């Protein structure tokens, strides 16, 4: 049995197959996922699991060099923004309009759906390297 923190087999396999500069997205329960984008649905009920729980779990195994967030998170969900920054203090952030972030989901290897019920709790992670 796997000993590390990501035990969801689909998510673990996805992370293991990520290369430098590949994109993985995580989002709230209401984020629309483009047709053709793989969706790993972890949502069980409202706020279970939370965006932060899933992000922390993925960050335990994925090297991240840059993140993409909706510009709107600054005013519509500053608490979530602060929590993201605390988990990724040295990672570059690029803010884009929410409509652009939704379009960019089509470029990600997968979208991980959480049970999060707060606005603009969506992120694109750009993988880094471990060497």
Buried b (16+ CB within 10 A) or exposed e, 13-33: ebbeebeeebbbbbbbbebeb
Query: CA 83, CA 80: separation in Å to the nearest integer?
Result: 5
Q: Is 51 annotated as a binding residue?
A: no
Write down all domains in the chain, each with its CATH number in brackets.
9-127 (3.40.1650.10)
Q: Is 98 annotated as a binding residue?
A: yes
The CA distances from residue 35 to 1, 65, 68, in Å, are 33, 27, 20
Query: CA 14, CA 72: separation in Å to the nearest integer?
Result: 28
The single-letter DSSP state of residue 107 is G
Tokens representing 128? 């880094």
Q: Is 8 annotated as a binding residue?
A: no
Contact assessment for residue 119 and residue 87, using Cβ atoms and an 8 Å cutoff: no
- For residue 111, how far is the Cα from the chain centroid? 7
pLDDT category of residue 4 using cuts at 50, 70 and 90: confident
**pLDDT tens profile 80-128:** 999 999 999 999 999 999 999 999 999 999 999 999 999 999 999 999 9
Per-residue confidence (pLDDT) for residue 88, from 0 to 100: 98
Query: CA 30, CA 34: separation in Å to the nearest integer?
Result: 13
**pLDDT tens profile 28-87:** 999 999 999 999 999 999 999 999 999 999 999 999 999 999 999 999 999 999 999 999
Catalytic residue among 20, 46, 85, 99: 20
Per-residue confidence (pLDDT) for residue 64, from 0 to 100: 98
109 is known as an active-site residue: no
Q: Is 28 annotated as a binding residue?
A: yes
> pTM here?
0.97
């Amino acid at each position: 049995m796997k000993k590390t923190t990501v035990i969801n087999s689909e998510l673990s396999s996805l992370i293991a197959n990520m290369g430098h500069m590949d994109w993985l997205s995580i989002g709230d329960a209401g984020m629309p996922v483009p047709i053709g984008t793989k969706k790993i649905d972890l949502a069980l009920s409202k706020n279970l699991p939370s965006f932060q729980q899933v992000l922390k779990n993925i960050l335990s195994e994925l090297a991240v060099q840059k993140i993409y967030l909706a510009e709107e998170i600054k005013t519509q969900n500053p608490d979530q923004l602060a929590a993201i920054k605390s988990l990724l203090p040295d990672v570059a952030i690029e803010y884009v309009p929410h409509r652009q972030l939704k379009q960019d989901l089509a470029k990600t290897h997968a979208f991980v759906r959480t049970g999060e019920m707060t606005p603009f709790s969506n992120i694109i992670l750009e993988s880094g390297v471990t060497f």
